[in-house]
Amino acid sequence: MAGAAPRRPRGRPLSSLRATFTVSFAAVAAVVTVLVGFLSYDAAARLVRVDEQTVYTQVVQNLREQVRQRQLTVADFATTDPDHDGPRDDLIRAGRTDVQVLGPGGTVADRGSPPLPVGPGDRLTADADAAGTLLEHREVEVADDRYRLATVALGGGRGAVQVAQEFSDTEDLLRELQQRTVLLVSAVVVAAGVFGWWLARRITRRLVRLAGAAEDVARTGRLGIQVPVTGHDEVARLGRSFDRMLGRLARSEEDQRRLVQDAGHELRTPLTSLRTNISMLRRIDELPPAAREELVADLALESRELTDLVNELVELAAGQSDTEPVRALDLAETAEDVAVLARRRTGRDVTVHASGDTRIGGRPAALQRALSNLVENAAKFDPDGEGTIEIVVEGRPVEAGGGPGEGPWDSGAPHGTVRVEVRDRGPGIAEGDRTRVFDRFYRAADARSRPGSGLGLSIVREVAASHGGAPFAFPRDGGGAVIGFTVDAGGSEDDGRG
């Protein structure tokens, strides 16, 4: 269909949301785990390396002090010591080091295990006169292993002692720790991804159902779809709001359908009458003068009633989708304006009685239309014009005492409402019609011979409902009827308060 948006595959956005949540959860876990693992490994490696270096440096320093204090010879460091309590064994035990003894000229007097390399610097150190002369630490490779190596002179050209510490085993240990850290980080990331997927599935499950319901509404156009609502969190609030929105749309659609059906039904009568009279116009020259006058009057009456019906339909439709802003107003002043207009239009005596606080928040034009309909209805059903039409506006502050069923407030109006009554001395309303006079197009049996469409009071009901109130009708003492409505003094239902 031209202009139609392409249908997005069902479930794709939801899967994307779940995947995004899972990937995000796993990514955060990965970043945190990698950071913690890296810092832990770096701290452990630093501590191990520093500790090994410190021990080795201390062993070399102790050897230097020992050869300075004592006249040690090559034989003192021999491996043939049966008691293993000589200087060589002390060096090996203290730092887990390898010791090799050099004789004069740098010859190897007692090999280490493994044998250590002897360079020119080592030979020069072996011939040094000063005891404790040190050939600085350096790194060497022996049998594919890495060693720290230092050479300390015995003095007097007697030789030197080489002290080596293997650090490749330490690096192997750290490398294994690194591998285990990587494996642990990978396992944590995988576990975080699985847990994130489970958590995302649990969290988005209700969103999936809610989105499915929305897609069903969009696809089928049916507003009566059951919306799943569970819990009390934001998702539950969204579900309840969506359910209420669908309910209001369904009611609006039903109201629109009934309005079209009822309007079509009501329009048939005047249109049929007009069509019949128009067909008679072709033979108007054949009719007697009295019949001509009656035909013209009938055409004028039918066209006027058709105009009134269309106007009321427009007013009713406008009342349902009224965008007039809510304003603070005094309902007693609105009643005075309506009374002035009614006196000018009908020539009837219309009085206004106001008491209490009649200030409310509402839509001025809609409330004035509702009051005008009530007054016009009273004037229509009292054609003799002998009785006075009374408009009574009773305000009731929120802090006032009492409740439903007390005094004149027997209509069940809640605290903080304003009550509007229009009283007439017409024929009154039959008991069976009191609950139906506010229905659209409903006309009582004794009112069907009078002009009107049956929409005036239904507009009153719509305006009252939009202002948090309700209409009412009951007989008046001494004859006549009392018809009116209540409104919430705080504002209408669409003023942002729900």
Q: What is the pLDDT of residues 46-71, one digit of tens each?
A: 777 777 778 888 888 888 888 888 88
pLDDT at residue number 81: 58
What token pair was written down for 39?
A: 């810092």
Q: Cα dist. 222→68, 215, 216 in Å?
A: 102, 11, 8
Q: What is the pLDDT of residues 425-475, one digit of tens each?
A: 877 776 666 676 777 655 554 544 444 445 677 778 888 888 888 999 888
Q: What is the pLDDT of residues 206-252, one digit of tens each?
A: 777 777 777 777 777 777 677 767 767 777 777 788 778 887 888 77
Asked if pLDDT for residue 391 goes beyond 90, the answer is yes
pLDDT at residue number 404: 37
Q: What is the pLDDT of residues 265-307, one digit of tens each?
A: 566 667 777 788 788 777 777 778 888 788 788 778 778 767 7
* Sequence letter at residue 61: Q
Average pLDDT over residues 412-431: 75
Is pTM, for the whole model, over 0.85?
Answer: no
C-alpha span between 448 and 451 (Å, rounded): 8
How many other CB atoms are there within 10 angstroms of residue 341's CB atom?
16
* Sequence letter at residue 454: G
pLDDT band at 393 (very low <50, low <70, confident <90, very high): very high
Span of 6-20, 114-128, 267-281, 311-325 with lowest mean pLDDT: 6-20
Number of residues assigned to the chain = 498
Asked if pLDDT for residue 420 goes beyond 90, the answer is yes
pLDDT band at 260 (very low <50, low <70, confident <90, very high): confident
* Sequence letter at residue 193: G
C-alpha span between 100 and 92 (Å, rounded): 11
